[in-house]
Amino acid sequence: GRQVSDVAELAIVRDTKPLRIAVGKDAGAASAQTRAEIIRPFAHPRTIISDFTAGEHLLKAFMSKLHTPGVFSLAPHVVMHPLGDPEGGYTQIEIRAIQELARGAGAHTAIVWQGRPLTDHELITGKFPSTGSILA
């Protein structure tokens, strides 16, 4: 299983139509050189997603780094692993939003996993450890 572990930042230039210019760790450098604004779609004190549209764009960009599109390319199966353990756990709304975010970014299926980071073998086989849980 391929994975992306990068800074969850998006650099955009707001014009008549917002233009994405960089994602991840490249976003900070891009904003320093241009008039780009940094958006952190998962940085909010009360909820896991603060900007759904920006989060979808960010996830699409990360997925495009892993997935080479072609005539017969299949949509990927994605495992979303939100970090942290909020008091009371994630709400059904947050879990569904994470799934919808992945599907909107092009995933065929989206599993939301809470627990330790998964190994490649666990991701490929779909056999997740009992020490965590599949939220959706």
Residue 82 inside a domain? The answer is: yes
* Number of domains into which the chain is organized: 1
Walk along the chain (136 residues) and give the pLDDT tens digit of each residue: 666 777 778 787 777 676 777 888 888 787 777 778 888 888 888 889 999 988 998 888 888 877 766 667 788 889 999 988 888 889 999 999 999 999 999 999 999 999 999 999 999 999 999 999 999 8
Residue 104 inside a domain? The answer is: yes
Residue 92 inside a domain? The answer is: yes
User: What is the reported pTM?
Assistant: 0.79
* Cβ atoms of residues 49 and 94 within 8 Å: yes
Q: What CATH number does the domain containing 99 carry?
A: 3.30.420.40
Residue 39 has phi, psi (to 5 degrees) of: -120, 135
- Between the CA of residue 25 and those of 8, 39, 40, 49, 99, what are the distances in Å? 8, 12, 12, 19, 24
Rounded to whole angstroms, how far apart are CA atoms 111 and 81?
Answer: 8
Determine the structural domain holding residue 66 and report its residue range: 10-134
Which of 83, 82, 94 has its CA nearest to residue 50?
94
Rounded to whole angstroms, how far apart are CA atoms 52 and 75?
Answer: 20
Residue 94 inside a domain? The answer is: yes
- Token pair 């495009």 is found at 64
